[in-house]
Structure formats: C-alpha cells, structure tokens
Chain A
Amino acid sequence: MPQIIINTEELVHLEREGETFIFRPQAEQSILDLLALRDTIDAHIERIKEQIARAGVELAPNFRGVTGQDLKAIYRVWGEKFTYDLGFKEPLYAQGFLKPSTVYKVDAKKVEEYCEKNGVCPEGIVSKDRTKKLSFVLPKHEKNAALLQPAINVDEGKD
C-alpha cells in the first residue's frame, strides 16, 4: 500500500503564516498553498466517486450506492422529485396533487422603522443570532452550487 507522507509541521507552518494575512500580504501564498493541497485531495476523491459510479453502473444498470463499515457512497439525483406544468395548476390542485404554500418573511425595513420610533422590537419579532464567518473566494470559483438532500421515509419489512 503506497505511503502518503504528510508533513504536519509544514501544515502548521502554513497555517501560522496564513493567519497573518491581515498584517502581511505575502501570507496570501501560504493560504493559496493550503487551498491548492485541498484541491488536489478533492480531485482524487472526485475521481474515486466517478470510478465507483462507473463500476457500479457497469455491474448492473440503475446502481444507487455502496454501504461499508463507516462510509456510505450514494449515487442518486438530489432535489425535489416532482414539479408541475403551470398550465395544469388548477386541475392538479383540484385533484389534491398540489398544496398551497405560504411563506412569510420579516419586512426588515418596517421592523427597523418601528424599533427606531418605539425603542423596542415589535412583540414576536426576534433578532436572529448571525455569526460572522470569513470565507475564501477564488476569482474562478465565485458561483456557489446548492446541494439539496432528500428526506428519507422508510416502509416496513416483509418477514
């Protein structure tokens, strides 16, 4: 089995260097080195996923995944299972296949106006606890992909 040697001292060194980015512009390179390392590992993991999927489909069509001891590899589509044609909205709703969904959002501007005028928030409005977090954005990766996970409902067995 090939041995992967990770110089943890060098990793810690890069981390310590990178932390000083706000004081030293040359610290950027340490961050870029760590990001490049992460990208290399991610690329290997992506190729593993592709190969498992390919091997699974070659074994038999409609492959869905492999479960091991501590790892589950799932090969499936994500997101909502169905959508509907707007032209059929009324009959589908009449047949019970659609349900109306009402989404309420706080009008932040109106809440802030109320707070300024009254010194307190309207009853029932709660400030959300938002933690600031730093993220790295690379110019070529500025679009973010959303990954939706399906809910799992389980039916009963047979014996």
Chain B
Amino acid sequence: MRLSYSLLSTWMKGKTDEAVSLYLRLNAPSSSTAITQGKDIHESVGAFVKERSCLPDFLPPFALHSPESEKEVVVSFNEMFTIKGVFDILDGNVLYELKTGLHDSCEWSSTLQVPFYFLISKIASIPIDRCYLIHFNQYEKTNDWCLLWNNQTAINRAINLIESVGPEIYTYFDSQGLL
C-alpha cells in the first residue's frame, strides 16, 4: 500500500471517506476555495521555478541554483508500505516546501510533513540537510518562512507516525476490498 503524508493526516482527522477518495485519486468535490487556490498557487510556482530557476516575487528571495520542482519520490518503507512524497522544490541539499492559507510557517513546522519528507529522502539516499518551509498568505499577499534542520529525531517521528497509523489504514482499506 502506498502512503502519503496527506493520506495519513486525513485519516488522523477521522475523514475516512476523504482518505479513500485521496487514495483512489477520485475527483472529490473541492472541500474549500482555499484548497483550490492552494493547488493553483503550487502549480504556478512549480512552473515558474522550472522556467526561470528562481522563486517568484511574492515569495522570500532565496537564491536557487539547480532547482527541481514537483519532484515525486516513492520509496519502500517495509513489506507493507511504500511511501510517497512530492517535493515542491529540491535544490541540491535544500528542500523548499510551500504552504498557502492562513496558518503561518511556524504552525506548519509543527506538523510531521517535513519530517516525513526527511524520511523519504533518507531512504532514497537524497542528501537533504534542511528544509525552508515557505508560507504564502494569498489573502493578505504576505509571506513568511522558517528553517527545519534534518536530523534523526525528526525522521524517527515520521517512522513512528507510519508505524502507528499505517496499519490501521491498511486494515480498513483491506477490509473494504480497496487494496
């Protein structure tokens, strides 16, 4: 079974139906304008970076060197799971993760998404040593950012997340004939 951070976090919020739609890549109706806007902004930033190898003006002016945008990485975690991540921007040993909406980068840094990506990068032998978590508030047209250093503690938290929540998801999906 393939796990993504979105699937794990959706499941942890008790949104079973949404988790199923996510896994099966069904076109569920947009849950909010904010999510639709967020996806549009992600896509436009990805395209901009691909074309110009720099960040657009509405984001912090980090210098990029050889960026890859929307890099999908899938690795084997154990005999039960593969895990998938889509790195917004990977530039050498630096990961840039973009968030939109009202919650600032500091709040996002408390989630396990970046540790999840650190775990994927470790298994895939992609040498990421840090992540700049960039937030863009599309309503106020403001941005902010914070830095997360890669370390074993963060990776262990991601491992713990998968090992504690993954089997529950697996059992449900299996019982529903979805695997």
In the assembled complex, which residues on chain B have CB atoms less than 8 Å from the CB atom of A62? 60, 142-145
Binary CB contact string for chain B from 97 to 111 against chain A (1 if under 8 A, 0 otherwise): 000010111111111
Measured in the bound complex, the distance between the Cα atoms of B110 and A153 in whole Å is 10
Also in contact, A157 and B6, with CB within 8 A (given A69-B151, A152-B107, A152-B110)? yes
- List chain B residues, Cβ under 8 A from A159: 4-6, 84-86
Given the known inter-chain contacts A157-B5, A157-B111, please indicate yes or no for A64 contacting B106, CB distance below 8 A.
Answer: yes
A151 to chain B, nearest CB (A): 10
B38 within 8 A of A: yes
The answer on a CB contact under 8 Å between A63 and B5 is no
A-side interface size class: 20 to 34
Verify if B9 is at the interface (C-beta below 8 Å from A): yes
Task: Return chain A residues, CB-CB under 8 Å to B10.
Answer: 156
Is B109 within 8 A of A156, CB to CB?
A: no
**14 A-B residue contacts at CB 8 Å?**
A60-B145, A62-B60, A65-B106, A67-B149, A68-B149, A69-B149, A70-B153, A74-B106, A76-B104, A152-B107, A153-B107, A154-B110, A158-B38, A159-B6
A binding-site residues for B, Cβ under 8 Å: 56, 59-70, 72, 74, 76, 152-159
